[in-house]
Chains A and B, each alone.
Chain A
Amino acid sequence: MIILDKKQLITGCIFFVMLMLAWYWSLFVVTTEEHQGDVYRIIYLHVPSVFTAFLSAFILLCMSILGLWKKSYKSVQVGLASAEVGLLFTFLGLATGSIWGKPTWGTWWTWDARLTTTFILALLYCGYILLWNSVQSNLMRIKVCSVLGIMIAANIPIIYKSVTWWRTLHQPPSIFRRGGSSMSPEILSLLLINIAIMLAIGIWLIIQRYKNITLGEDLEEESYLQIRQQEGG
């Protein structure tokens, strides 16, 4: 029995090896940042995780619009896969941010705008998964989950702009800002490589989760048919 086909397995392994190499480079090769010292190396995990959570929300938005527009059930299945992967990476962003916060800010957690809005994003992703599982009718699932999916995506610009709209402990944007990035080219290029790899892993995980969802529904349908056959025969 083949669990993952050859193509999926090879791409997964390539992304995993690339991630390990990028982490090795981030931990042992790249120069130390002059203000924060070595602890800044957490940036190579923290920022890519948050970007992947944002990408999941963007996919969720596209699928939700498609779901409402075309009434396509497939789009909410992809939406569920995106929400799960989004939750994973939001958790990772919050956890690594919290670990980074202790030595730099002196606290694990503070209810400032950036952290609170990101925490709300995690709760919204949980809400989407719960809603998806609690609604049985496919048409109703398309409607309610798509509306929630759009609301989740609406939170992303608020999270992104929270550091400029409110006074926060979190630093302002340092990659995409007017006048170019504030980072050195070496640090920035490695960060962009880490972001690209993490985004690729996020997409790979969404595809795998989507396949599991469709296979799980095939299984449900097949077992229902078999029960019907046994009852009939």
Chain B
Amino acid sequence: MFQGNTDPYPYIVAAYMVGFLSIAGYTAWLVINRYKIKKLLNVLSKGIQNETK
């Protein structure tokens, strides 16, 4: 049953905060993850180059 007397604004703010934080958080995690992998790949390729020299 619809609870018409409830103040809706805290619920709206909470829902959109959860939405924003989930999407932004996952995107940030992907970018950090990509940065770490690329950094390690660079270190490895430099190591191989030094060895071949």
Contact = CB atoms under 8 A, between A and B. Distances in A.
Interface of A: 1, 3-4, 12, 19, 23, 27, 35-39, 41-42, 45-46, 49, 85, 88, 91-92, 95-96, 99-100, 102-106, 201, 205, 208-209, 211-212, 215-216, 218-219, 222-223, 226, 229, 233
Interface of B: 1-4, 6, 8-9, 11-12, 14-16, 18-19, 22-23, 26-27, 30-31, 33-35, 37-42, 44-45, 47-48, 51
Contact of A208 (B4, B30, B35, B41): B30
Nearest to A37: B8
Contacts of B39: 1
Max chain A CB contacts within 10 Å: which of B4, B8, B44? B8
Contacts of B37: 212, 215-216, 219
A103 B10 CA distance: 10
Interface residue SS majority, chain A: helix
Given A45-B16, A99-B18, A104 B3 contact: yes
Contacts of A201: 23
A139 B6 CA distance: 55
A79 B35 CA distance: 23
A3 B12 contact: no
A12 B16 contact: no
Given A3-B38, A91-B22, A42 B15 contact: yes
A174 to B, nearest CB: 15
Contact of A12 (B27, B42, B45): B27
Contacts of B11: 39, 42, 99-100, 102-103
Nearest to A169: B1
A36 B44 CA distance: 58
A44 to B, nearest CB: 9
B41 A218 contact: yes
Contact of A103 (B8, B18, B19, B45): B8
Contact of A226 (B2, B3, B44): B44
Contact of A95 (B8, B18, B23, B51): B18
